[in-house]
Amino acid sequence: MYMRSTNQPADNAVEARLGNSVHWSDFAACKGRTSLFFAPRAERPQARLRRETQAGAICAKCTVVDDCRSFARDNHEYGFWGCESEEERHRAGYTVSAPIGIRARPAAFAN
């Protein structure tokens, strides 16, 4: 976790409550680009592949990608985090209640 020097005054009330700490996500290359990392409703598979490819390119250059992936795995997050889709996290043993690929399948084909 990254910490800011406590010699500087807090910039806002939230920072003051956190003891001037700065979260890893403050350093994320994806900051402000959430549309690439979370699927829109009824996204088609081809569009998902394009979106996740673009997201992965951003993650590949990110300095906090490992922290991001760990956060998503530990908190069962949806979306593309730490260069990993929710389906990839699910296959790696980090459960998400219903990964996109599983949610998209008709009930007759579910395992």
How far is the C-alpha of 10 from the C-alpha of 74, rounded, in Å?
29
> How do the domains of the chain map onto residue ranges?
33-109
For 47-100, the pLDDT digits (tens) are 999 999 999 999 999 999 999 999 999 988 889 999 999 889 988 998 876 655
> Is the pTM of the predicted complex or chain greater than 0.75?
no
> Residue 49, class by beta-carbon neighbours within 10 Å (0-12 exposed, 13-18 middle, 19+ buried)?
exposed
Region class of 105: left (phi > 0), else alpha (psi between -120 and 50), else beta:
beta
